[in-house]
Structure 1
Amino acid sequence: MTEPAAAAALAVRSLSFAYGPRVALDDVSFRVPAGGVTALLGPNGAGKSTLLTLTAGLLRPPPGSLTVLGHDMATAPRKALARMGIVFQQPTLDLDLTVAQNLRVFAALHGLPRRRTEARMAEELDRLDLTARAGEKVRALNGGHRRRVEIARALLHRPALLLLDEPTVGLDVPTRAALVAHVHALALDDGLAVLWTTHLIDEVAAGDRVVVLHKAKVRAEAPAATLVADHGSLANAFAALTADPPPVQEAAQ
């Protein structure tokens, strides 16, 4: 049973998009409930990054609809984007600014008052174990710490929805595991809705919801536990759902 519209942090309905003759998304529909992590799981080239790029408002709205907390990206993009934090796959920090300076620039762009900015910076840096690195230039940080800075930056304006586009690319296994744990803790502690795109099954926690995207189509939308119960493991579920010819789509539970 799917959640009612009022409970959705992100609702994607009948979304299609193509780059010329290449179809990237084909009639894609799913929901990200308010609070908790939804893993958008799919092989490379499945359409995951295109979906996040559209949700971030960086491409012209295609056929279908995207709504964030009830705000339609086509008709009310500013209201939708104001409720959203985004960490793209490619790093976007200024390497020659300090951690704190990167955060202050972002806060200024969102119009946050200085006092509120400093308080929120202190809170996010502490939560992500970065307080001691606030005065260091980003260039001096390793990949895992840079990703944490990007997440802290994305949370400064208190979004209800956090989009993460394969944020662990290039990180070693222990750093990946730590980042996955941090994000799940954020969702649990703050009631934050997270859409996490990945092709790595070990980044999906037992309590997550899963949307399997393959060859531009949604192959399944269900709790991870349901897919495990039906297939024996998430790895088995992923293999079955990304096989060709495509299986019948599994409904959300």
Structure 2
Amino acid sequence: MHGLSVERIGHRWGAKQALDEVSFTLTPGAFCALLGPNGAGKSTLFGILTRLFTPQTGRVVVAGHDLARAPRAALAAIGVVFQQSTLDLDQTVRRNLLYFAALHGIAGREAETRAMAALDRLGMAERAGEKVAALNGGHRRRMEIARALIHRPRVLLLDEPTVGLDAAARAAITDHVHALAADEGLCVLWATHLTDEVRPADRLVILHRGKVLADGTAGEIGGADLTGTFLELTGEQA
């Protein structure tokens, strides 16, 4: 069974070491929180995982495909929700998903079926005919997750997906994505700087100044006080 393998990734931006020997492996069905303060290297890692740029050292394997040697197969196995929204606000929810399906070579009845199935999984089927501009922030994020699932990826990457949402919307999105990992065997990497989005049973990788400070389950790493442990490890202020 193949999920996501990050092997000794190193990357510099000029004099700054953005990532330093970063390694972890995720299995199918795992929900992993990549937890780190702003500037920890999370966005650099996501840029490498999505091949926006190439790491200077190390390698990435996605669903058994080496990202450098077989980039098309590896990227086809990835669904991505970026921090910044990329939705067409003037089109309907359905049209947004059908356009994305077409980019993956999916058209006609198959595209319609997949779009509605993905929306249904995220509790958005009844919104299919609405314009995206009419949706609130939480529903737009659910739609982006549905869009990322339309080509049936094996790995789902989410970069700070709850930024700008209120507490209720954040909790709802977190619940939906946990269910996708548990029920559909998706390998999920969820980047965040918020400890309250991490559950005790979640896999947790703490990243700070480009280094992995801890890797295990959140309950093992943080005990009853994950926030306190996180602040202690990173030296951040509450």
Shared fold by TM > 0.5? Answer: yes
Q: Which amino acid aligns with 1:243?
A: G
Listed one character per residue, the Cα deviations across residues 141-190 of structure 1 (whole Å, up to 9, x for unaligned) are: 11111111100000001111000000000000111011101111111110
Distance in structure 2 (CA, Å) of the matches to 1:22 and 1:50: 12
Task: Name the counterpart of 1:10.
Answer: 4
**Any gaps of 5 or more consecutive residues in structure 2?**
none
Q: Is the 8 A contact 1:99 1:133 kept in 2?
A: yes
Distance 1:75 1:61, change over 3 A: farther
After superposition, the CA RMSD in angstroms is: 1.3
Equivalent residue in structure 2 for 1:155, among 143, 149, 171: 149
Q: Which amino acid aligns with 2:172?
A: A
Cα deviation for residue 236 of structure 1 reads: 2.4
Distance in structure 2 (CA, Å) of the matches to 1:119 and 1:132: 14
Task: Tell me the secondary structure at the aligned position of residue 157 of structure 1.
Answer: coil
Q: Which amino acid aligns with 1:214?
A: H
Task: Name the counterpart of 2:14.
Answer: 20
1:173 is aligned to 2:163: no
Distance in structure 2 (CA, Å) of the matches to 1:104 and 1:214: 38
- How many residue pairs match? The answer is 236
Distance in structure 2 (CA, Å) of the matches to 1:78 and 1:62: 20
Task: Name the counterpart of 1:183.
Answer: 177
Distance in structure 1 (CA, Å) of the matches to 2:21 and 2:222: 26
Task: Name the counterpart of 1:243.
Answer: 235
- 1:54-69 equivalent positions in 2, closer than 5 A: 54-69=48-63
Listed one character per residue, the Cα deviations across residues 198-229 of structure 1 (whole Å, up to 9, x for unaligned) are: 00001011221000000110001101121134
Cα deviation for residue 243 of structure 1 reads: 2.9
Cα deviation for residue 83 of structure 1 reads: 0.5
**Any gaps of 5 or more consecutive residues in structure 1?**
1-6, 245-253
Q: Is the 8 A contact 1:37 1:208 kept in 2?
A: yes
1:93 is aligned to 2:87: yes
Equivalent residue in structure 2 for 1:221, among 215, 219, 235: 215
Distance in structure 1 (CA, Å) of the matches to 2:130 and 2:151: 22
Task: Name the counterpart of 2:114.
Answer: 120
Task: Name the counterpart of 1:139.
Answer: 133
Task: Tell me the secondary structure at the aligned position of residue 64 of structure 1.
Answer: strand
Task: Name the counterpart of 1:233.
Answer: 225
Listed one character per residue, the Cα deviations across residues 25-47 of structure 1 (whole Å, up to 9, x for unaligned) are: 11111112211200000001100
Distance in structure 1 (CA, Å) of the matches to 2:94 and 2:217: 38
Task: Tell me the secondary structure at the aligned position of residue 97 of structure 2.
Answer: helix
Task: Tell me the secondary structure at the aligned position of residue 80 of structure 2.
Answer: strand
Q: With the length of structure 2 as denominator, give the TM-score of the two structures.
A: 0.95
Q: Which amino acid aligns with 2:230?
A: F
Distance in structure 2 (CA, Å) of the matches to 1:119 and 1:241: 47
Q: Is the 8 A contact 2:11 2:20 kept in 1?
A: yes
Cα deviation for residue 87 of structure 1 reads: 0.3
Listed one character per residue, the Cα deviations across residues 66-106 of structure 1 (whole Å, up to 9, x for unaligned) are: 11012111111101001110000000111111111110011
Cα deviation for residue 8 of structure 1 reads: 4.6
Distance in structure 1 (CA, Å) of the matches to 2:101 and 2:160: 24
Task: Tell me the secondary structure at the aligned position of residue 3 of structure 2.
Answer: strand
Task: Tell me the secondary structure at the aligned position of residue 57 of structure 2.
Answer: coil
Q: Which amino acid aligns with 1:212?
A: I
Q: Which amino acid aligns with 1:210?
A: L
Distance in structure 1 (CA, Å) of the matches to 2:126 and 2:28: 32
Task: Tell me the secondary structure at the aligned position of residue 17 of structure 1.
Answer: strand
